[in-house]
Amino acid sequence: VPVLLFVAAPYIRRYVAGGRCKSAARLEGKVVIITGANTGIGKETARDLAQRGKVIIACRDIAKAEAAASEIRAETGNQQVIVRKLDLADTKSIREFAEKFLAEEKELHILINNAGVMLCPYSKTVDGFEMHLGVNHLGHFLLTFLLLERLKQSAPARIVNVSSLAHHGGRIRFHDLHGEKCYNRGLAYCHSKLANVLFTRELARRLQGKLLYFAIGTKVTANALHPGSVYSELVRHSFVMKWLWKIFSFFLKTPCEGAQTSIYCAVAEELDSVTGQYFSDCQPAYVSPHGRDDETAKKLWSVSCELLGIQWD
């Protein structure tokens, strides 16, 4: 058995690694924002895209972000890897980030909503939102809202939302969105990842637009993705998951492997006019029935606007 495992190991690893982005598309003159790019798949996404164009790393922890950016600059030779403060658990920070970005940059071509929290003990954001919902969904919802006009002005442009296979276990519990009546940290993560899929679906529908059967689209696409099971810091809030991740690390993607679908959705030429889709391993993937519920998507949009105090028609 050990011999068989040794022989099979390279094939197992190749299978675990999954799809790889093969696009050599350049991004000269283009601007990319990646949230949570100081570690994990966000950092690897930034590393790849920094070889193609200008990348803005938007993170809560500036020290870690500067260290990651410095490493990427040295490796790629691209000095246009910029760090900006962004705390998705604080709408004031999100607004300040957007205001500064809009004052400094005249264009935005790719927004990758990558940052996320997972398996947090019950807690709330600065604004009183349950942490998973607040950071993973509402924070990115507000950020996208604030930057959308710049994306439209820079079109063709892309919005990439990092969701998860976990969306299959999610439900949008409108009667208890913030988990005050019943809270399970695993399910809270699943709910927030379903929210990512539904947000992408409704955003794509609104951006596409139709008037008397004539498309009046904005040339801004929105797609979601599952990066795979990745050996990263995302499970830091769970001792059990950290322990399991170490034991089974051989069967998990590396952050570089996990970043491939994010990179694919950001640059692949064949996705120029593809929108409202969900990808895994650089190919279309199955979305749960709850993730295809247009009525729930519309209601979540409306409730999200209400919670954030914005009007997004």
Enzyme catalytic residues:
189
For residue 222, list its beta bridge partners.
Answer: 159
* Residue whose tokens read 């004539």: 214
Residue 216 to residue 10: CA distance in whole angstroms: 49
Sort 174 into a burial class: Cβ within 10 Å, 0-12 / 13-18 / 19+.
exposed
Residue 129 neighbours by CB under 8 Å, 6+ apart: 138, 178, 307
Please check whether residue 98 is in contact with residue 143, taking contact to mean a CB–CB distance below 8 angstroms: yes
Residue 204 to residue 276: CA distance in whole angstroms: 5
CA neighbor of 241 nearest in space, from 293, 163, 301, 189 = 189
CA neighbor of 97 nearest in space, from 107, 112, 87, 105 = 87
The Cα-based distances of 92 to 50, 127, 142, 194, 212 in angstroms read 28, 9, 11, 25, 40
Residue 28 to residue 196: CA distance in whole angstroms: 29
DSSP assignments along 188-246, one per residue: HHHHHHHHHHHHHHHHHHHHH-EETTEE---SEEEEEEE--SB-SGGGTT-HHHHHHHH
Residue 211 to residue 154: CA distance in whole angstroms: 23
